[in-house]
Amino acid sequence: MGYIVVYLRKGIVASAALWFTILSVVFFLYSFVVVWSESNFNDLDGIATGVLVVSLGLVSFIAGSLVLGGPKGRRHTEKRHVRRDPTVRRVVPPGRGLFFIAAAVIVPSVVYFVLLGHVPLFMGVGDVFESGYQGLGALQTYRLELTPHLSGMSIPFKGVFDIIRNYGPLFIVGVSTVQMLQGEKRWPRILLIVLGVVTSLAAGQRWPLIYLFVAALAAIYALVGFGIRPALRRVVGFSALLIGVGLVITLLQKRTTEVIDSFGEAVNFVFENLFQRIIFDQSATPILSFQNRVYNSGELGGASYLQALLAYVPGSDVQNFEVDFFSRIYGSSYGYTAAPGFFTEAFINFGLIGVALLSFAWGMLLTTIDRNRQWEKDRYFSPGFKAAIVALLAGTSFAGVGVIIGAALIYFYMSIVYRLGSHLEKSDTTDFSAAELSAVGVAARSK
């Protein structure tokens, strides 16, 4: 908690290391400790191992970050920035480039749902409009049709489409938010943010909200180094909006057998279910793996990481490890995606020593990425790109390292699109001196 507080006191919010720590505490450490304290004598040893694994992993991760100085020296002033780079800089105006990025995400996502034959979110909302409270729960059915190992449904290059529609909107939200804070035209960017959020949620799932929340906050604070300070009302407003969206989707999914036939019952259900999901459900399967001792320490020897890599190879019939993890924990012939989390996966692959070493190395890597000055290359796109990458890297706390493969692919894809847009806009590009850039930052801040 001290590590988190130091980051926040310094205003360093656009940090993958910070959010990895926060999500690890929220999703795993707290729930593991609560379950441990409520366990009976028979399963105390198993869950105690889980508490040890998560605690050791967090301490090692923070130690790896602190080796590189942690949050020290990350916050720099506008004056220092100008003095460090007094040369003329070329800045691509944020016109068609942003819309190229948006189109590169939204168009493939639309194609995906056309091939699927329906949009789960829209179908679920439509059922509620037609049948009222009786239509609740239909979204859950439509959502599961996206899972090929349950329905047998096959879409060509489904994995590629999944990466784009799940992670691509983070770049739309990140870049649009950054440009709005710089005083660019507001409503076109608000429209793109809305389209990005809808694209993320079109599958009827709640977990993309976590990535969107982190990406939006990282984008809001990514410009601090340029002298642009975010207003607290932006943070509070966006947070409240995403919580509200999460509550609505929770109600539409209606993951309960109880009948909801009044507004009061609906409100009670959505708050209880959503925050149960945040605090406990995300860690339920990893906790069971320790309680039931389904995996031994170091049993996999790195096999899960290899499986995640092979799942992205074209033509491969290898399932994601998250599916196998669920199947083995619950002894079922089918599986939903249930990731073990970064620390649990490290334990079942390499044991306690592996947890310590991998977590330490991960702390160093995320801190190195946080400190990379390449993110300051241009002020129109790079801070937004960083916001998206911060969200993806932070998500490895609950999604596992396998998500990095998808993150790398989508970043490469977005970079190509960005360069294409920049090339087409080259005739409109203007040269700015460092002093002029400083004036732009002051003007945007005054707004």
Question: Whole-angstrom Cα distance, residue 15 to residue 305?
Answer: 25
Mean pLDDT of 2-20: 89
Q: Is-contact 424 96, C-beta < 8 A?
A: yes
- Which residue is it, tokens 């499986």? 307
Share in percent of the chain as helix, strand, coil (round to 5): 75, 0, 25
What's the confidence (pLDDT) of residue 95?
59
- Helices 321-330 and 303-310 cross at an angle (nearest 10°) of 130
For residues 144-170, give the mean pLDDT.
75
Task: Tell me what pLDDT residue 425 has.
Answer: 57
CA angle (52 as vertex; 49, 56 as ends), nearest 5:
145
Q: What is the pLDDT of residues 225-270, one digit of tens each?
A: 666 766 777 778 888 888 899 999 999 998 887 888 888 888 888 8
CA 407 – CA 400 distance, rounded (Å):
12
Alpha-carbon span 53 to 207, nearest angstrom: 24
* pLDDT (tens digit per residue) in 119-132: 999 999 999 999 88
Mean pLDDT of 341-355: 95
Q: Which of 90-104, 186-200, 308-322 has the highest mean pLDDT?
A: 186-200
Q: Are 63 and 17 in contact (CB under 8 A)?
A: no
* pLDDT confidence bin for 65, thresholds 50/70/90: very high
pLDDT above 70 (res 348): yes
Q: In this prediction, what percent of the chain has a pLDDT beyond 90?
A: 35
The DSSP H or E segment spanning 193 is helix 186-201
The label of the residue with tokens 């198993």 reads: 46
**Cα three-residue angle 337-343-348, rounded to 5 degrees:** 75
**Minimum mean pLDDT among 151-165, 177-191, 229-243, 407-421: which range?**
151-165
For residues 277 and 311, the model is more confident at 277
What backbone torsions phi and psi does residue 446 show, to the nearest 5 degrees?
A: -70, -25
Decide which of 70 and 322 is more confident: 322
The pLDDT value recorded for residue 148 is: 55
Question: Partners of 90 in the beta sheet?
Answer: 431
CA distances from 59 to 36, 54, 345 (A): 19, 9, 16
pLDDT above 50: residue 134? yes
Looking at per-residue pLDDT, the higher value among 447 and 63 belongs to: 63
How large is the average pLDDT for residues 105-111? 94
Q: Kindly list the domain boundaries of the chain, sorted by start residue.
A: 2-446
Q: Which distant-in-sequence residues (6+ apart) come within 8 Å of 38 by Cβ? A: none
Torsions phi, psi of 255, nearest 5?
A: -85, 65
Percent of the chain whose pLDDT exceeds 70: 82
Higher pLDDT, 329 or 234: 329
Q: Structure tokens of 83?
A: 């003095």
What are the distances in angstroms from CA 177 to CA 43, 105, 219, 279?
47, 16, 6, 28
pLDDT digits (tens, 9 = 90+) for 167-196: 999 999 999 988 888 877 888 889 999 999
* 156-170, 190-204, 314-328, 384-398: range with lowest mean pLDDT: 314-328
Return d(Cα 186, Cα 424) in angstroms, integer. Answer: 23
Higher pLDDT, 429 or 273: 273
Smallest CA-to-CA distance from 183 within 123, 128, 138, 227 is with 227
Determine contact, residues 261/6, Cβ cutoff 8 Å: no
**Would you say residue 434 has pLDDT above 70?**
no
Of 49 and 182, the one with more pLDDT = 49
Q: Which pTM value belongs to this model?
A: 0.85
- Of the pLDDT bands very low, low, confident and very high (cuts 50, 70, 90), residue 81 is very low
Residue whose C-alpha is closest to residue 57's, from 400, 295, 291: 400
Q: What angle do CA 236, 212, 28 make, to 5 degrees?
A: 90
- DSSP H or E segment with residue 431: strand 430-432
Output the average pLDDT for the chain. Answer: 82
Q: Is the pLDDT of residue 359 over 90?
A: yes
Per the rule left: phi > 0, alpha: psi between -120 and 50, beta: everything else, 298 is left
